A = this chain, B = another copy of it.
């Protein structure tokens, strides 16, 4: 094993070209082996193996800074930078992050998870480097999907203007998470069929060696001349970038040769590399969407395992059914067709489905445009990604009370994706926004009831549900929704637990059959059900429980409401503490945060209502 001898990228410099190829094969094997037992971002990491080997061969990390956009394609990078021994802990609690993470390794230049941030980071680093008179290299590796995110394009605009030295590698696999969308993607594709690339493919890898020197000669000329010759009607010309490519991203020798020659050029250069997601693992090559974030699998008999019925599927089924009777319904997603359970909907209603690509702001504001034009848009978005469109919710939707429903998936702690992806801020971000209503269903049936009611009554409504499994609701079931009213699920004589969504089950478990403990499905978070709250607060002690940050969340809303009502019951707020939660199984993280059944029981005990013990009567 060559890999076992690589302790840091410096060790790559010693290998022969043939050994580098061997190393790439070993990396691929290791990635498949480990992700088959842990799950993880298999397809994108397999696609980037040769590119990463070439980068570490040519550049000098950590002195040179290699920024991986999104960071989930960097498994090979982790294996080459001193983390081989811990690689099997990836995405586990206390283990390696599934993304690059500054606090994990000096070789991880940025902490990521969300897309399109690498170029703004690279811009800042380049300014900082030059201000401080340093001369290290900066390389940003960004996928075609992430590059068409607005933030990346806007950063490119400034990078081109300043002309800072850096290398941007467009890792073009024609695929973000769902197949990529947007005019630029089509354009990149058209570049791939340019004659000389086709020639290269016909004759085989050998030819790239002949092509590369020519490219380099061109690229090395005076900048102006370069652009004139190389731009080939390409959009980067307008951005003042030197464009080189496209080249085969799996030809390791060719990549090394080219990077050696590009690394010392001044100004910004964009190298367009074409790779294949899942490269080297045929199941993933054939179905990269379903192998994007793979669950553990059997490498000998690979199937992209699906968990049972999920909240996403429950939403997808509900919205597909609703669309049959509600002609004005339309669904928007920012590149999350499969993730949001919308594959079937998109097939059935292609005209009423808009995937805007990795552009959450565009998703929300195009929904505003649709609402202004008479439709009833549903924006299907993960909680963590809605963070990227807060202003659009406020400015484009809420001010004019437009009929937009936000279907917020993966709210709460999400698991292995960790702190960049936990959906634990949405309630705080949204509940300060006027005109917006917020609700959270306890199960798939209530999801259907709320979704239908939200569309019916109009105005902006946010519905949130967690990641993971949920009991499916029967097709055709459309229960009434008593909009705005909480549901008293269990009566109690001393304390009421106010919970919703995922924490409702914990509350019921904690209450058990104790007659002193009542449980409320506090499913409407904005506005709160003030009548029920006032009635309870006048007589009972209260404990709120939420899978969300304590700061600014549901409990905080209850406190504000009680202040308005002039009520001061004894109350405890259970929520996530004021720090970024680790990656790990949500149930375990809930336990650590004290919001699971055991945590609730502890809070009950502090109120003198310890399970199984009589209550000492006190005010």
Contact of A111 among B160, B351, B399 (CB under 8 A): B399
CB contacts (< 8 Å) of A73 on chain B: these are: none
- Which one of A112, A129, A185, A559 has the greatest number of beta carbons of chain B within 10 Å? A559
State the Cβ distance, A180 to closest chain B Cβ, in Å.
Answer: 10
Interface size on A, residues (CB 8 A): 117
CB contacts (< 8 Å) of A154 on chain B: these are: 148-150, 153, 182, 356-357, 359, 361-362
| A563 close to B552 (CB less than 8 A) | no
State the Cβ distance, A399 to closest chain B Cβ, in Å.
Answer: 5
State the Cβ distance, A581 to closest chain B Cβ, in Å.
Answer: 9
CB contacts (< 8 Å) of A371 on chain B: these are: 124
| B399 close to A362 (CB less than 8 A) | no
Q: List the B residue with the shortest CB-CB distance to A156.
A: B183
Contact residues of A: prevailing secondary structure: helix
| A428 close to B425 (CB less than 8 A) | no
| A396 close to B117 (CB less than 8 A) | yes
CB of A571 within 8 Å of the partner chain: yes
Interface string of A543-576 (1 = CB under 8 A from B): 0000001111101110110010000101111000
With A111-B399, A434-B579, A563-B571: A157-B183 Cβ-Cβ less than 8 Å: yes
CB contacts (< 8 Å) of A12 on chain B: these are: none
Task: Pick out which of these stretches binds chain B: A237-245, A247-255, A488-496, A502-510.
Answer: A237-245
Contact of A377 among B124, B395, B568 (CB under 8 A): B124
The CA-CA distance from A387 to B131 in the complex, in Å, is 29
CB of A155 within 8 Å of the partner chain: yes
Contact of A373 among B124, B233, B420, B556 (CB under 8 A): B124
Contact of A354 among B117, B127, B132, B374 (CB under 8 A): B127
| A559 close to B563 (CB less than 8 A) | yes
| A153 close to B150 (CB less than 8 A) | yes
Task: Pick out which of these stretches binds chain B: A102-110, A195-203, A273-281, A452-460.
Answer: A102-110
| A394 close to B399 (CB less than 8 A) | no
The CA-CA distance from A551 to B102 in the complex, in Å, is 34
| A372 close to B160 (CB less than 8 A) | no
Interface string of A374-411 (1 = CB under 8 A from B): 11010000000101101110111011100000000000
Q: List the B residue with the shortest CB-CB distance to A351.
A: B131
Interface string of A152-189 (1 = CB under 8 A from B): 11111111110000000000000000000111111100
Contact of A109 among B151, B372, B579 (CB under 8 A): B372
| B357 close to A125 (CB less than 8 A) | no
| A428 close to B552 (CB less than 8 A) | yes
Contact of A150 among B150, B184, B365, B366 (CB under 8 A): B150
Contact of A369 among B123, B131, B570 (CB under 8 A): B123
| A391 close to B553 (CB less than 8 A) | no
CB contacts (< 8 Å) of A398 on chain B: these are: 580
List 19 A–B pairs whose Cβ atoms lie within 8 Å, in order of A's numbering.
Answer: A65-B373, A117-B365, A120-B361, A124-B371, A128-B330, A131-B352, A151-B362, A151-B392, A154-B182, A155-B366, A157-B359, A161-B181, A388-B391, A394-B425, A399-B420, A432-B552, A434-B549, A434-B580, A435-B580
Please list the 10 inter-chain residue pairs (A to B) with the smallest Cβ-Cβ separation, ordered nearest first. A124-B369, A150-B150, A160-B183, A235-B238, A128-B373, A428-B432, A124-B366, A150-B154, A120-B365, A121-B369
| 5 further A-B pairs in the complex, CB-CB below 8 A; given A157-B357, A394-B425 | A110-B369, A122-B369, A125-B372, A151-B365, A551-B560
